[in-house]
Amino acid sequence: MSTLDSSLGRYSLKAKNEGDHIHGSIAINDEGGSPLTLQEFDEHYLDDVINNVIYPVTGGNRAITNAFKEELVKAGFKQPH
């Protein structure tokens, strides 16, 4: 079972692979690290987490999206097909 708890800039991502889906949350934090907004997610595929959750929450920031994708892959999250 893969898990990730990572922060990049003002964004924090927590994810856990729960068998056939990925459950977690992404937050936008203030300068002190307290969450300004938090979005929970429950997706079946890694690509769905990237395209439907991380990319829109970061305002389309490809650098942060790609960095989080690399972190997820390093943590053992995989696309099943």
* Rounded distance between C-alpha atoms, residue 49 and residue 55, angstroms: 9
Domain-by-domain residue ranges, the chain? 3-74
Model pTM score? 0.91
Encode pLDDT of 7-33 as tens digits.
999 999 999 998 889 999 999 999 988
Q: Which residues contact 31 (CB under 8 A, 6 or more apart)?
A: none
H or E, element range at 41: strand 35-43
